[in-house]
Structure 1
Amino acid sequence: MSMHLRGVKPPIKPDQEPLTKAPKAPAYFSTYAVAEWKRVMPVLVQRRVICAADLAQVETYCCMAGLVRQIETERQLGGGVIDVKLFGVQNRAAQTARQLAATLGLDPVSRARLGSAAPDGDASPNPLDV
């Protein structure tokens, strides 16, 4: 069976033209989206996994993460009452944010893939080799 048919994602590697400085958050962002942008952009720039072409994906991630926080804040300020329609919006935004976070290397599994590349010429003996 091909490795691609098993659901194995390729390892994340540094980009060929990574951003060297985090750009400002877009003007249309909510307060929560700006906070998320300021939290994740330095990490992505430091890891050298983000380039200018990826900014739309980061923008969408920050908007969705900000929307989740905004809805939760409004729910708490409203006495904790759950609005079924807003819960559905929040749930979809959280799912989208989670999926985008995984593609950007912002979740534990993606971070493990980022650092999982074994050095070439690993001299440690493999006990399974016969």
Structure 2
Amino acid sequence: MRGTKPSMKQDSEAITKVRPAPKWLSDDARSEWRRVLPILIGRKILTVGDLGSLENYCVAIGQVRETERVIQTEGMFYQGEHGPKRHPATAIQAEATTRARLLAAELGLTPVSRSRPAIRDDDDADASLD
């Protein structure tokens, strides 16, 4: 790909002040909230309507971190009745990782999502139909 990457479209209703993480989030999820919220505010792309996606992203990251601690402590496998079995935390971690990756892309937190063209304004779309 050549040229410069388009910038993400800033939203006129974007959140401009850091908000505290919801109290119900786990410690790991709150930590991720505190890490990414200032980034999203600085890009002026996060609105009140996006907070649910941000919460879900943080929950997923929290689950990834929690399951990693379990796997580090207990191991990826355990001895089942018929031989080695994958630890159940590995499946939970895989699901949470996928969910976090998809939500990160929606929120513009991945390099690929930031390189995609911004959505055009409705006025721009209408003008192209003339």
With normalisation by structure 2, the TM-score equals 0.73
Q: 1 CA distance for matches of 2:33 and 2:76?
A: 29
Alpha-carbon distance between aligned partners in 2 of 1:34 and 1:104, rounded to the nearest angstrom = 17
Q: Quick one: which amino acid aligns to residue 30 of structure 2? A: V
CA distance in 2, matches of 1:42, 1:114: 22
* Residue 67 (structure 2) pairs with residue 71 (structure 1): yes
Native 8 Å contact 2:71 2:89 kept in 1? no
CA contact (8 A) 2:71 2:90 kept: no
Cα displacement string for residues 55-91 of structure 1 (whole angstroms, at most 9, x for unaligned residues): 000000000011001100122123x344532211111
Q: Compare the two structures and name the one with the higher strand fraction.
A: 2
- Taking the aligned partners of 2:108 and 2:56, their CA distance within structure 1 comes to 15
Aligned ranges for residues 12-51 of structure 1 at < 5 Å? 12-51=8-47
* Structure having greater relative contact order (Cα 8 Å, sep ≥ 6): 2
Question: What is the aligned residue count?
Answer: 104
Correspondence for 2:90 among 77, 83, 87:
87
Shift, 1:114, TM fit: 6.4
The alpha-carbon distance between structure 1 residues 58 and 107, as it changes in their structure 2 partners (threshold 3 A), is same
Residue in structure 2 matching 1:96, options 93, 96, 99: 99
Which runs of no fewer than 5 residues in structure 1 stay unpaired? Answer: 1-10, 116-130
Asked if the contact 1:105/1:114 (under 8 Å) is kept, the reply is no
Report the aligned-residue RMSD. Answer: 1.8
Q: Residue in 2 aligned with 1:55?
A: 51
Matched, 1:105 2:108: yes
User: Percent same amino acid among aligned pairs?
Assistant: 40
Work out the CA distance in 1 between the residues paired with 2:34 and 2:58: 9
In structure 2, relative to structure 1, the CA distance for the partners of 1:72 and 1:107 (3 Å cut) is same
Instruction: Name the TM-score, length of structure 1 as normaliser.
Output: 0.73
Structure 1 moving runs of 4+ over 6 Å: none
Structure-1 separation of matches of 2:55 and 2:45: 15
Give structure 2 stretches of 5+ with no counterpart. 1-6, 78-85, 119-130
What amino acid maps onto 2:28 in structure 1?
Answer: Y
- Alpha-carbon spacing, 1:102–1:59, altered in 2? closer, same or farther (3 Å): same
